[in-house]
Structure 1
Amino acid sequence: MLPELLKDVEAGGLLIIQDSVRYSGRQLLKSFVKAALNREETVHFIGFEFSEDELRDGLKGPFAKRLHIHSAFTDPLGWTDHPVFTVHQFNAEEITHLIKQTSHASAVTLVIDSLSWILRHVSPSVFCRTLQQLRKGGAVRAIVGLLHADMHQKGIVGSVCHLATSVITVAPGMKAEEAEAKITKRSKSGKVLQDEEIFVIKEDLSVIVQGKSHQTEPIQTGPEEQKMDPTANLTFNLRLSDAERQAKENLSLPFVFSKEKKTALLHSGPSSGRILYEPDENDDYDQEDPDDDLDV
């Protein structure tokens, strides 16, 4: 699934690369930038953690003209007189204005190298609303962002990832050069696809999938959990002894009829009772009109 996402991020999509201190997603983010440029798309890169020189390293070529970098690396909070881009400019109006200033005829992919840096200075509600406005505004075709999951509370990470159409969670692999990607992709129909892959990023930023990941971590059970009996401290007994079980099996239940009782009820004997009706002389009963006594 990772090669499919690199080949094309769906229109209106939001792809989030979720990393941690255990493994950085910076190289994978650069791979998505190069893949977008190879598709002849225009890329607008908002950089808080990448310097411009670091980003352009490995992205040299004829498509470099379609890479527009709005660097907040040197002055992210606007402390100098002429900052290139600051965190306070992260709103739909400012970003749309920056994109429209650049003449282009191809689709635009917006790449943000640190959603976490913005979340540290912008409220989550404003942040999520801005992402939604950028997706729906039409100025960009797709958005790709890097999120450091271990820097935020789980609720904030969950809210941001809930907006995404695709989430790639990266972690170190078994070998030094390998990494593991857990991918969740949501289609427009609402179907959710999940996959786990082992991949390697080459020097030219190409991504090679080595195979599927089948690692499963066993549930660790402590010694107390293994020996604990939930019925140990009850004031009553939930188990039956052999004698009690035998007595229960021999007990005749009141609503269960034995064979002898069924026979007695279904077959009347000589002493069975009958009801006989003999009309007396005061009974006004007409054989031809049984309803004669009714006032109708």
Structure 2
Amino acid sequence: MLPELLQGVDAGGLLIIQDSAGCSGRHLLKSFINAALNREEAVHVIGFEVSEEELRDGSQGSPTQRLHFHNAFSDPLGWTDHPAFTVHQFNLEELTHLVKQTSHPKAATTLVIDSLSWILRHVSPSAVCKTLQQLKKGGAVRATIGLLHADMHQRGTVGSICHLATSVITVAPGAKGDEAVAKITKRSKSGKVIQEEEIFNIKEDLTVMVQSKASHTGPKQPGPEEQETDPTANLTFNLRLSDTEREAKEKLALPFVFSKAKKTALLHLGPGSGRILYEPDANDDYDQEDPDDDLDV
């Protein structure tokens, strides 16, 4: 699925590359930038963590004239008089203005955020999620790609960001030094979720080579270590019924359940049943027109 995503993120899509201290995802991020430039798209990179020179390293063969780097690396918090871009400018209005003033109006635009973790350290997760959701609705940018360091944030924050994404790539170390494992989750517009794991490496020209993959299109089955322990496994008594015991239980008549014959006997009067008969005598002052005449009301 990596080659498919490198061919282009769907319009309005949000791709999150999730990494950790054990395996960096920046090389894969640069591969996505390189692929977008080769598709003749305009790429706007908001760089918080590396300089423009480091980001462009390895992209000499790409048409970098369409690569626009917005320097948030030198002064991310706006401590100087004229900062290029600060973390507090991460909102839809500022990003739209930034992209439109430096892009050709007819060119498809991809916004790259390097990285979301830097922004989440200084802006509330709800505000970041709001901006990402607004970017997904289209407008100035066609698609958004963000790098997220998952081990720097709480699980709920990472989950909220990934929940907004149309595709999530989680990178992990591979068996060999030059290999990495990409765990990909892609959500289609119909709601279908596809998961795959691919082993890949990145060449010097930022080309991604997939070595092997294992598809998981269905729900993930828990492994032996993830299966819950049976609480009835080591009991000294049996909580389960055998087939014979279950059959005897089903045939047992419960005392509070009436059979059809018992209901019939209770509802129909048989011989010898008693009745109460009332015959008024002459002393009874009973007026059929006013039965309550004897009441003092």
> CA offset at residue 135 of structure 1?
2.1
- Asked if 1:231 is matched to 2:235, the reply is yes
**Aligned residue in 2 for 1:68:** 68
> CA offset at residue 132 of structure 1?
1.3
Cα distance 1:239–1:50, how it changes in 2: closer, same or farther (>3 A)?
A: closer
Between structure 1 and structure 2, the one with the greater Rg is 1
User: Is the partner of 1:12 in helix, strand or coil?
Assistant: coil
> CA offset at residue 56 of structure 1?
1.2
**Aligned residue in 1 for 2:188:** 187
**AA matched with 1:5:** L
User: Is the partner of 2:137 in helix, strand or coil?
Assistant: helix
TM-score (norm 2): 0.75
Q: For the Cα contact (< 8 Å) 1:202–1:208, is it kept in 2?
A: yes
**Aligned residue in 2 for 1:113:** 114
Q: For the Cα contact (< 8 Å) 1:184–1:194, is it kept in 2?
A: yes
Which aligned segments of 4 or more residues in structure 1 are displaced greater than 4 angstroms? 225-230, 237-240, 248-251
Q: Identity of paired residues, percent?
A: 70
> CA offset at residue 133 of structure 1?
1.4
Q: How does 1:17-96 map to 2 (within 5 A)?
A: 17-61=17-61, 63-96=63-96
User: Is the partner of 1:82 in helix, strand or coil?
Assistant: coil
Distance in 2 (alpha carbons) for counterparts of 1:42 and 1:254: 77
TM-score (norm 1): 0.75
**Aligned residue in 2 for 1:143:** 144
Cα distance 1:36–1:228, how it changes in 2: closer, same or farther (>3 A)?
A: same
Once the two structures are superposed, residues 79-117 of structure 1 have per-residue CA deviations (whole angstroms, 9 ceiling, x without a partner) of 111211110110110111011111413100000011011
> CA offset at residue 27 of structure 1?
0.1
The number of equivalent residue pairs is 245
Q: For the Cα contact (< 8 Å) 2:28–2:202, is it kept in 1?
A: yes
Distance in 2 (alpha carbons) for counterparts of 1:2 and 1:56: 22
Distance in 1 (alpha carbons) for counterparts of 2:189 and 2:113: 23
Q: For the Cα contact (< 8 Å) 1:198–1:213, is it kept in 2?
A: no
Q: For the Cα contact (< 8 Å) 2:12–2:138, is it kept in 1?
A: no
> CA offset at residue 212 of structure 1?
1.2
> CA offset at residue 213 of structure 1?
4.5
> CA offset at residue 191 of structure 1?
1.2
Cα distance 1:73–1:226, how it changes in 2: closer, same or farther (>3 A)?
A: same
Superposition RMSD in Å: 3.0
Distance in 1 (alpha carbons) for counterparts of 2:31 and 2:205: 9
Cα distance 1:175–1:94, how it changes in 2: closer, same or farther (>3 A)?
A: same
**AA matched with 1:23:** C
> CA offset at residue 58 of structure 1?
1.3
Cα distance 1:226–1:52, how it changes in 2: closer, same or farther (>3 A)?
A: same
**AA matched with 1:134:** L
